[in-house]
Chain A
Amino acid sequence: MTSASVESRPHRSAARAGSAFLTTHPRTRLALLLAAPLFWLVVVYIVALALLLVTAFWSVDSFTGEITTEFTLDNIITVVTGSLYQTVTVRTVGVALAVTIIDVLLALPIAYFMAKVASPRMQRVLVILVLTPLWASYLVKAYAWRSVLSQDGILEWLLAPFGGHTPGYGLPATIITLSYLWLPYVILPIYAGLERVPDSLLEASGDLGGKSWSTLRLVVFPLILPAIIAGTIFSFSLSLGDYITVNIVGGANQMLGNLVYTNVGAANNLPLASAIALIPIVIIFGYLFLVRRTGALDNL
C-alpha cells in the first residue's frame, strides 16, 4: 500500500484498499494473522526451551559464579549417574503418581454426580464451587495447609480424641496438599467427558440388564478414559514441577523442583539446574508419548 495509490484514487480509503489487497492475497493474510502468536510461541516458548537445553552443556566458575560457555557433558553425566538425582527423581515421580491416583479417585464420583445426577441448576452451582479454590492464591492455600498440618494445628485437634495424629510436615503432607491444589484440574476434564456420554447409552445398558457397576465399568469407563487421562496429565505434570508446596509442608524433603531452585537460587549453578530441569521434561514427554494413542490429548 503506497501513498501514491491512495492519491490516485482519493475516494477510496486506506483501510478499504488494504482489505481488498488482503482478499486477493490469502498468503499475506495468513502471515499477518499468525505472526504475533507464532512470534510468541517461537521466541518465548521454543527459544527458551532451546536455551535451557544449551545451558545444560555449559559450566560455572565455582568461585566467581560466572558462567563459562564451553561445551561440557559434565552436568548431564552428573545428573544421570548421581545417586542424589536418582533418589530425588524416584521420590518426585512417586509423589506425582500418588497425587494423580488420589485426585482421580476423588474426582470420579464428584464429576459423575455433577454430570449425571445433579439438576441443571445444581450443576452450575457445583461447577462454581469446584472452580472457587482456583481464585485463591496458590501460596495462601499451601500456607493454610501448613497451619492445618502443624503440631498444634486443626488436624491434630480433630484427630487427637481418636488417638490419631497429624502426619506433620513431610511427604504425606506434600501429597495431601498437592492433591488438594490440583483437584479442580482433574475434576473439570472428567466432568466434561461425562457430559458427552449420552444418557441414552446408560439407559440402554440398564434395559439390557446391566447392573449399575457393569454399566459404569463396561460403558462409562471406556468412554471417559481419554478424559481421565487428560486430567492425570494436569495433576502429574503440575506435581512433577512443584517445589513451593514441598518447601512449605514437605519438611526436610526435596523434589526435583527444589534441586533446580537451589541450584539457581543458592548454588548459583544455572547449567546444572538446566540439566536437572531436563529430567521432568523427559518424563512428561514420555508420558505424553504413551497416552497420545488414547485420544486424551484431544480432551485437554
Chain B
Amino acid sequence: MKRIPHTARRGAVVGLAIASVALLTACGTSSGSGDSGGDAATELGENEGQVSILAWPGYVEDGTNDPTVDWVTPFVEETGCEVTTKTFGTSDEALNLMKTGDYDVVSASGDATLRLIAGGDVAPVNTELIPNYAGIYDFLKDQPWNSVDGVAYGVPHGYGANLLMYNTEQFPTAPTSWDVVFDKASENAGKVTAYDSPIYIADAAVYLMAHQPDLGIENPYSLDEDQLAAAVDLLKTQRESVGEYWSDYLKEIQAFTTGDSVVGTSWQVIQNVLAGEGAPTDVVLPEEGATGWSDTWMIASEAKNPNCAYAWLDYIASPEANATATAYFGEAPSSDAACDFRDDCEAYHAGDADYASQIWYWTTPIEKCLDGRTDVTCTDYAAWTAAWQEIKG
C-alpha cells in the first residue's frame, strides 16, 4: 500500500482502525498488485454539476439516438448533473478507457469488474448512500463479480443472455442450436459473424459442454489447456466461414441490414434496432444455453464528480429509470419494482433466480479454476487473448 487512505474528519479513530486492518490484510494477501482503490465515501456533498459516464451502448440514452428514448434528461433536471457519455464495444475497451481516469462512472460486466477492482480503478461503493439499492434482487447483490470479501463495489444494473441472431429469409424456421455458427457454419460461409473479443471463447466452450461432454467442461470460464485447445480448434474452423467479427454494434446492425451477415451472436438491443428498421432478422436463445452478462455500475476510484456519480447510481437503480434502460437494451431489470414499469419482465425471467443461474455470466478467467478443480491450473485471460488473436490469424 503506497497510499494511506484519507479518513473522514468524524470518526477518525474508527477510520484509522479500519484502515490499519485493511493495510494489514493487503500486506498479508499481497498476491495482486496492491492498491485497493481507496475507501468508500461516507457522506455525500453538493452535486458537482456534471458527471462523465462510460457505458455499454444503449445504457445511457439522452434522446440523440431515438428522440423517444431518453432517461438522461429527467436525471439532469432532478440533480443538475450534466451527463457526458462515452460508449464502448468490449469489456477490454472499457478497462482500458477507465485507466485514463476521465470517467466517473462505468457500467462494467463480470469480465471487467474484478480486473477494475484489482487494478485499483474503481472504489468500493457505500450502498447506504444509495436508497434504491434496498429494492434490488438479493441474488444480484454480493456476487463474486461485484464485491470482494463482502465489500460492494457497485450497484447491479441488469442481466441477460448473448443471443443467436439469424436472417429470417435464410432461416425460415428458427435455428434451435448454436451449431449453425459452429458445426454447420460452412452452410453460410462468409456470412457468419461472431463477437470480436477473447471472451467469445466461452461461447465455444458452452457449445462444447453440450456436444463434447467427454472434454469435461464444467464452467466455460474455467478451461484447462486441453479444453481451451478444443475451443480454439472449434473457433478456427468457424473462422473459415466468418465474414466479419463485430465489436461495434452499429457495424453489426449494418451487416445484418445489407445481408452481409446472416447468422451469428448478437444482443437483444441490436434486434430491437433492426426490427425498427424492418430488417428480416430475429433472435433466439439456443438449447445449449448461452453466455450472458450481469452488469454493475461502478464509481472510479479517482472520480472527479463523486457526488453526481452516486446520484447516477441511485437514479439508474430507481424502478422507473432501471425499467426504461433495461427494457431498451433488452435485459432483465435489477428489481421487482422495475417490473411495474415493464410488461415484458416474464420474457426475461426477471427475478427468477434459477433461470439467472443457467446463464453463464461473463467472468474473467483466472489461473485458479472457477469450477473448483485443484489438480490443474486453468488458462487465464492473457492466454485467452493470445488464443483469440491466433484464431483470427
Chain A residues in contact with chain B, CB under 8 A? Answer: 61-66, 84, 87-88, 146-147, 150-153, 168-169, 248, 250-252, 254, 259, 262, 264-269
Closest to A68 in B: B33
Task: Please tell me if B132 contacts chain A, counting CB pairs below 8 Å.
Answer: no
Task: Say yes or no: B92 contacts A268, CB within 8 Å.
Answer: yes
Task: Please tell me if B245 contacts chain A, counting CB pairs below 8 Å.
Answer: yes
15 extra interface residue pairs, beta carbon distance < 8 Å, beyond A152-B258, A251-B242, A266-B198: A61-B33, A64-B115, A88-B393, A151-B258, A151-B260, A153-B258, A168-B190, A169-B260, A251-B190, A252-B244, A254-B389, A262-B389, A266-B96, A267-B389, A268-B95
- Docked CA distance A269–B95 (Å): 12
Interface centre among A66, A248, A267 (most CB of B within 10 A): A267
* B335-384, CB < 8 A from A: 364, 366, 380-382
Closest to B31 in A: A63
Task: Say yes or no: B245 contacts A252, CB within 8 Å.
Answer: yes
Q: Of A63, A150, A152, which one neighbours B380 at CB under 8 angstroms?
A: A63
B209 to chain A, nearest CB (A): 25
Task: Please tell me if B129 contacts chain A, counting CB pairs below 8 Å.
Answer: no
Q: Mark B88-113, 1 if CB is under 8 A from A, else 0.
A: 00101101100100000000000000
Task: Say yes or no: A62 contacts B260, CB within 8 Å.
Answer: no
Write out the residue numbers on chain A whose beta carbons fall within 8 Å of the beta carbon of B251: 248
> Given the interface contacts A63-B366, A65-B115, does A254 sit within 8 Å of B393 by beta carbon?
yes
Task: Say yes or no: B32 contacts A251, CB within 8 Å.
Answer: no
Q: Mark B183-220, 1 if CB is under 8 A from A, else 0.
A: 00000001000000110000000000000000000000
Closest to B114 in A: A63
Write out the residue numbers on chain B whose beta carbons fall within 8 Å of the beta carbon of A64: 32-33, 115, 118-120
Q: Of A65, A151, A254, which one neighbours B99 at CB under 8 angstroms?
A: A65
Task: Say yes or no: A65 contacts B243, CB within 8 Å.
Answer: no
Chain B residues in contact with chain A, CB under 8 A? Answer: 32-33, 90, 92-93, 95-96, 99, 115, 118-120, 190, 197-198, 239, 242-245, 247, 251, 254, 258-260, 364, 366, 380-382, 385, 389-390, 392-393
Closest to B93 in A: A265
Task: Say yes or no: B389 contacts A84, CB within 8 Å.
Answer: yes
Closest to A251 in B: B244
A3 to chain B, nearest CB (A): 44
A221 to chain B, nearest CB (A): 40
Task: Say yes or no: A265 contacts B96, CB within 8 Å.
Answer: yes
Write out the residue numbers on chain A whose beta carbons fall within 8 Å of the beta carbon of B385: 266-267, 269
Task: Say yes or no: A62 contacts B96, CB within 8 Å.
Answer: no
Q: Of B92, B242, B390, which one neighbours A267 at CB under 8 angstroms?
A: B92
What are 22 of the A-B contact pairs (CB < 8 Å)? A62-B381, A62-B382, A63-B118, A63-B380, A64-B33, A65-B96, A84-B390, A147-B258, A150-B258, A150-B259, A150-B260, A168-B190, A169-B244, A248-B251, A251-B244, A252-B239, A252-B245, A265-B92, A265-B93, A265-B96, A266-B96, A266-B198
Task: Say yes or no: B258 contacts A266, CB within 8 Å.
Answer: no
Write out the residue numbers on chain B whose beta carbons fall within 8 Å of the beta carbon of A61: 33
Write out the residue numbers on chain A whose beta carbons fall within 8 Å of the beta carbon of B93: 265-266
Write out the residue numbers on chain B whose beta carbons fall within 8 Å of the beta carbon of A65: 95-96, 99, 115, 119
> Given the interface contacts A63-B118, A64-B32, does A152 sit within 8 Å of B259 by beta carbon?
yes
Task: Say yes or no: B381 contacts A63, CB within 8 Å.
Answer: yes
Closest to B97 in A: A265
B151 to chain A, nearest CB (A): 17
Q: Of B32, B92, B260, which one neighbours A168 at CB under 8 angstroms?
A: B260
Instruction: Give the 5 A-B residue pairs with the shortest CB-CB distance, closest first.
Output: A62-B382, A266-B92, A64-B119, A150-B258, A267-B385
Write out the residue numbers on chain B whose beta carbons fall within 8 Å of the beta carbon of A84: 389-390, 393
Closest to A62 in B: B382
Q: Of A62, A254, A268, A269, which one neighbours B392 at CB under 8 angstroms?
A: A254
- Docked CA distance A20–B231 (Å): 77
Write out the residue numbers on chain B whose beta carbons fall within 8 Å of the beta carbon of A169: 243-244, 260
Write out the residue numbers on chain B whose beta carbons fall within 8 Å of the beta carbon of A151: 258-260
> Given the interface contacts A151-B259, A153-B258, does A252 sit within 8 Å of B99 by beta carbon?
no
A257 to chain B, nearest CB (A): 13
- Docked CA distance A269–B92 (Å): 11
B38 to chain A, nearest CB (A): 15
Write out the residue numbers on chain B whose beta carbons fall within 8 Å of the beta carbon of A168: 190, 243, 260
A147 to chain B, nearest CB (A): 8
A263 to chain B, nearest CB (A): 8
- Docked CA distance A65–B120 (Å): 10
- Docked CA distance A30–B364 (Å): 58
Interface centre among B99, B242, B382 (most CB of A within 10 A): B382
- Docked CA distance A63–B119 (Å): 8
B48 to chain A, nearest CB (A): 28
B222 to chain A, nearest CB (A): 15
Write out the residue numbers on chain A whose beta carbons fall within 8 Å of the beta carbon of B239: 252
Task: Say yes or no: A252 contacts B381, CB within 8 Å.
Answer: no
- Docked CA distance A64–B120 (Å): 8
Task: Say yes or no: A63 contacts B260, CB within 8 Å.
Answer: no
- Docked CA distance A291–B385 (Å): 38
- Docked CA distance A65–B247 (Å): 21
- Docked CA distance A61–B99 (Å): 14
- Docked CA distance A269–B198 (Å): 14
Write out the residue numbers on chain A whose beta carbons fall within 8 Å of the beta carbon of B392: 252, 254
Write out the residue numbers on chain A whose beta carbons fall within 8 Å of the beta carbon of B389: 84, 254, 259, 262, 267
Closest to B364 in A: A63
Write out the residue numbers on chain A whose beta carbons fall within 8 Å of the beta carbon of B95: 65, 268
- Docked CA distance A61–B381 (Å): 11
B100 to chain A, nearest CB (A): 12
